[in-house]
Amino acid sequence: MGYRNGVTRIEEERKREIEDAIEYARSLIHLTGAAVRIPIEEIGQFNIVLSKGIVFNSRGLARMLKGCAEALLMGATAGKEIMEAIDNDSKTNRLTRGVILDAVASEMVDDSLDWIADYFNGQLRRENRRLTKRRFSAGYGDFLLENQKIMYDVLELGTLGVELTESFMLVPQKSVTAVAGIMG
C-alpha cells in the first residue's frame, strides 16, 4: 500500500487501525492451491504443446519455456470469506478497511504461488532441476485470458471452491493461476 518504514509518517491511531485491518484480513483468508507438472512435447515460435493434448498459444510463454522439458501449472485462492468482507466494507462505506483487506488478499494469494514454486524447487533440486524465475499468468501479454479455462480444468480448481465465469475470470476474485517452466 506504499508504506515505507522510516519514510512514511503515520499517526499511531491510524497505524493501529491498519494493523487491525491486516489481522482481520488474515483471519478471513483461507489459502488453498494446486499444482501439476506436465511434460512439454513441443515448443514452437507461437505455441507450446504439452502432454494430455494441452496447447497454449503465446509467443511470450513459448520464449519463457524455451529449453524446458516440463511446465508447472499452478493455481491458488484466498477463498470466498475475504471477498465477502471486502464487498460488505464497500457497501457499508468502510472503504479504507476494504482497500486494506483487498491489498492483503492480493499479496497473500500471490505469495501462495511463491510458496508453491519454492516447494517444487525443493523437490526439483533432488533432480538437479529448477523452475524458471518468471511465471506467466493467463491474461498477461499475449497469453490470452481464455487459457484460464485450461488451467482451471487441469488444476481442478472447482474442488477448491473456485468458479470460472463465461469471460474466463476466476471467482472468488482473489484467485490466480500461473505457468512456470522446469529447467535442467
Tell the CATH topology of 32-77+108-183.
Answer: NADH Oxidase (3.40.109)
Q: What's the chain's Rg over C-alpha atoms?
A: 19
Among 128, 145, 127, smallest CA distance to 136 is for: 145
User: What's residue 68's pLDDT?
Assistant: 97
Give this prediction's pTM. Answer: 0.90
- DSSP β-ladder status, 68-77 and 130-131: unpaired
pLDDT in tens, 20-52: 999 999 999 999 999 999 999 999 999 999 998
pLDDT in tens, 141-152: 999 999 999 999
What is the C-alpha separation between 30 and 94, in angstroms, rounded?
A: 22
pLDDT in tens, the chain (184 residues): 556 666 677 788 988 999 999 999 999 999 999 999 999 999 999 999 999 899 999 999 999 999 999 999 999 999 999 999 999 999 999 999 999 999 999 999 999 999 999 999 999 999 999 999 999 999 999 999 999 999 999 999 999 999 999 999 999 999 999 999 999 8
Beta partners for 159? none
